[in-house]
Chains A and B, each alone.
Chain A
Amino acid sequence: MISRRSFCKKSLLIAGGLAIPLSALELFDPKRLLAEKKDGKAVRWVFLVDTHKCVGCGFCVKSCKIENEIPYDANVTRTWVERYLVTKDGKTHIDSPKGARDGFETEQIEIGHGKFEEVGNEQIDKAFFVPKLCNQCDNPPCVQVCPVGATYQTEDGVVLVDRKWCIGCGYCIMGCPYGVRFFHPVHHVAEKCNFCYHRISQGMQTACVDACAFGARRIGNIKDPDDPVTRIIMTERVNVLKEEYGTKPQVFYLGLTKEVR
């Protein structure tokens, strides 16, 4: 008959003994070993938006919806274009009807409830378009708050969602300051822009970059100093959205002004 004392002793010994081989996984993290082997040739995807070049045609939104199978008429989208009109009275008028899927078909500004507001041309001080997409943050709040680990960040910086594991609680949607997440109308799980990961990992451009006739959107690898996108980010005056949230966004903008939300 085993005594209580020796039972406790032996079970602690077994638990401790089992823990040693398991802790080796931490000591020799296979992922880190692989990363160190590659030395310097790593990939970190970043995006560059030149707002000066965007004309608000919405081709990027259209191509994104088709490429990534987001139901065409559903009022959600992985990427969208915002129109900004700053008037002489100091007010900023912003809209993005249907995410600008069909571009901006009227000069009137959409103000919700299906209503539009007329802004006279002579009133406008400046006007411009700002394309938006997931910022693939270096410190992604959506990954932090996912209770089951269904959303995660890849080695090359892109945040992905596991459609088979997402429980659809919506915490990541709440946690994203940029409003890029939504529930997929067909799969009923969290959905977001992933820089067309299926394309960029195969050496292609994202669908929106391919669709942009004006070169307003570009994707690049910030770890490659010879990448033209990297060169622009390193040498020119770029900005990011909502830096104050500490998310370290990796979509860089040329020509961003204070009115942009």
Chain B
Amino acid sequence: MSKPYSQVKAMFAIARASFRSITRSPSAVVFTLAFPLVFILVFGFIGGGGISVQVAVKKESDRNNPIYQALLHVPVVSLDTMLTPEEMQSDLEKGRIDATLSITDKGMGAMPRYSVHVETTSASSEMGAVLKSVLNNIFYTVNSQHITMPTYAELKQTEVSVREYKRIDFILPGQLGFSLLSSGVFGTAFVFMSLRQTLVIKRFFATPIRRPFIVLGEALSRLVFALIGSSIILLLGHFAFGFTLIHGFITVVNMLLLSALGLIVFMGFGFVVSGIAKNESAIPPIANIITLPQFLLSGTFFPISVFPSWLQPICKVLPLTYLNDAMRKVAFEGANLLSVGHQIGIVALWGVIVYIAAIKVFKWE
């Protein structure tokens, strides 16, 4: 032998070949790109069902007045009295609440007696308009009951200009996470099952490459493929649907790093599935047990806060919940990777657990 044998060179040969093989597999392209993009389209355009205006009531606000009492009975308005001014400000900016409300009682005989101050944001102007029309409706009723005082209550409105939190800002990170989950679990499970069944892996064993490098080569190709998919989803989302990438390029890099972490963890699930499935038709049921709950309960389509409290603990265990959360914080709130360290830590912990299981059940032949 003139030159020592290079495992890394052999690994890259597998990665290159495997990458070509993935790009020629229709299911890989559909799962990684087509599905998430279709979901983004559908959910981005249709929007959610019932309207609900989230209003935070300021602490100093007077609550013993007919206007407040009337608002309590308006179903579309949900009032929250528990927030501190700081929370209000940040929730308003992040789009978690649509408006803040403060009612001042100027005392008997004042004209007008009640002053209602509503703060909405440029992002929630739609909801602000709904709230305004609800209030005007109440004023009309209240004022007409006090004919002697024609202007019993008045509305003051200010609009705070913030970044607009669009529906796509919620939907896209969820779809990105979902894409990584299905590509990681289904893709990995099917590829290793088929490598075993078509004896490709056995043919590799007859060459000088060592086993871990075979897995690394295959994993590398899937990682590259998934990150290309993530980039396409991010850029298309940004340019076609106005997805917010707050710090531009840096945010894209951070999102891709999160994608890589997510994919590596989800590939671990894929290795487990390919290890316990007896044949190809056994893969979908097992893989669905892993992906479906996360698909539904990890804040892919709805924030996990909409789920009943008995489901919340499950939501708060799933790795995708934390990946989605981290991605939303990074893309919209401009968080850096350190400040989502908690989420990253939980995803990584899942990674450790899953790979321990994968090493136990993985089959070569």
A binds B: no
